[in-house]
Structure 1
């Protein structure tokens, strides 16, 4: 299943099943909202005409209680920033207030002199989980996958000595356009991520190159904390991160998930 979330003038927030038609993603029929967002989203009993996603006012298709990110999970990215490869997954949090919809404007804070893009594959949790066992089937706990841009104020990240402020500004976590369980990077079918800045390829990596694979990440994380439905786990970024300027357009593409596109502007 693939789904999106969009804002309808008549019905408010709507979740819809997504299908591909002639190489384009379409919202084809409404679906029930995930449990973590049922209070805010419309029911399925609405009038609905199939439409291409590009014609909709898309919203971030997740409503997480937490965004739990993985740092330096590609060797080439750790090397390009002069860092050693971590011996265990490096965890940090972005606040849910950093979420941004596809097509939204990423606001570059005046406090920072260098804002970077970081294209990533995101895991969306489907069931509450804690202390996942070494032989436990993880598939029931994964709702699907999405695209994430882990936007970073690189200078603040370095000067602070920890990452909360540099990665936590409002609009610093664009997500979407869809969530899908029709790809299986945790089950041996890696996907390729490509990031384009103003049309030029800057990043190209495969989830087969993750230092800590998805199954390892989920088991490691759940030894420390409970994951709730809707929680989002960006899995790390490949090499090729870099700074942006006002007006720059960023496009992150993952096979089966479409393209997450946003523009940078000053706050």
Structure 2
């Protein structure tokens, strides 16, 4: 597998970690404070694909009289903190289950302003190249944040590697493994770290955005992945998140409208070859 692992894969601090280790890199020059008018939107985003999609949307928003100011973050915590703290208008990096869990754990008051796309979670080969080779003692790396770990475990269950307790669903943890059918070892790591250690484990499960940043193609490199028409696609759609009460603002509605437009849909389909799938209601 081809890997391009660079500065964007600075270790980020996820929902279960602390805030002190977060990374931030400016994408646009300008204010990092929430805009008080309808002529500018400040938004925090993951590098790929979120910031790339937003960059494509800038010109379309400019035609509507709105300046989009994008700042790239390398973690899953600070983008929510800065929106809840009114430093940014919105963020674009997460799915709704993650947001809801973050609100519960952190006491933030963030809501979805609209679903934009879906990124299939995939199982990628490392020391072993086929799931037919899975055997007792093999290490499989999974994201350690609450919602993405459950998602990874469900994918392992779907492929006959483990069996979860009935009803575990999107809240599943390693403690919900009822039957470790293949006798594998589940290694819980921060999602941003996993692409860096793919070759050290038998298999790894990667979040879509980190797979993209590391140069992996879900269609070409993943052994299996969540299907675009699956329940997971509806559950884990990536959203524009804002502080509660701001989802009805004219500029946020325009942002969502542009991101769901035919032009952006076409851009996503052409650029990401199935690694990012536009979401339709």
Instruction: Name whichever structure is richer in helix by fraction.
Output: 2
- TM-score relative to the length of structure 2: 0.28
Which structure has the bigger radius of gyration? 2
- TM-score relative to the length of structure 1: 0.29
